């Protein structure tokens, strides 16, 4: 009998520069922070939050998205290697995709145009580590 799951819990992305990545994800998505190491933590707090590796975990309606800053600075994502291909976030409708285009343009973030795939439309772009991201309206 297969394992039964009912949703995603979280996705954590390995990044090369936490400051650059946080700035990107904060500006693009504005997710709430669920976990991060506070400034000047005591030893107990450091131990409790060691799983963050100096990164951050965001909370949003779909679950949790973490950034783990352990990749070498020159390393870049490649969806043609084993592992992750891309991360897709759901948005309510095509109007939300059009609004996202305006946000990405304002931030100077390169993106593809909105692609109509019949039952859904998508908007593709990349984060600072070249991780492929997608917004999907169904």
> Looking at residues 41-56, what average pLDDT do you find?
94
The pLDDT score that the predictor gives to residue 127 is 98
The gap from C-alpha 97 to its chain's centroid, in whole angstroms, comes to 17
The pLDDT score that the predictor gives to residue 7 is 82
Q: Which of helix, strand or coil describes residue 36?
A: strand
Class of residue 114 by CB neighbours under 10 A (exposed 0-12, middle 13-18, buried 19+): middle
Q: Summarize pLDDT for 82-127 with one digit per residue, the tens.
A: 899 999 999 999 999 999 999 999 999 999 999 999 999 999 999 9
Q: Summarize pLDDT for 51-74 with one digit per residue, the tens.
A: 999 999 999 998 999 999 999 988
The pLDDT score that the predictor gives to residue 126 is 98
- In order of their start, the domains of the chain are 1-72 (3.10.180.10), 85-138 (3.10.180.10)
């Amino acid at each position: 009998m297969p394992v039964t799951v009912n949703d995603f819990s979280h996705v954590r992305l390995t990044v090369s520069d936490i400051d650059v990545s946080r700035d990107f994800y904060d500006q693009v998505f504005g997710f709430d922070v669920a976990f991060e190491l506070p400034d000047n933590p005591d030893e107990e707090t450091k131990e409790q939050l060691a799983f963050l590796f100096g990164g951050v975990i965001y909370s949003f309606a779909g679950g949790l998205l973490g950034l783990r800053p352990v990749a070498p600075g020159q390393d870049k994502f490649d969806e043609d290697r084993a592992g992750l291909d891309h991360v897709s976030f759901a948005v309510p409708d095509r109007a939300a995709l059009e609004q996202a285009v305006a946000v990405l343009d304002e931030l100077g973030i390169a993106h593809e145009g909105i692609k109509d795939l019949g039952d859904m439309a998508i908007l593709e772009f990349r984060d600072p580590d070249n991780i492929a991201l997608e917004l999907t309206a169904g």
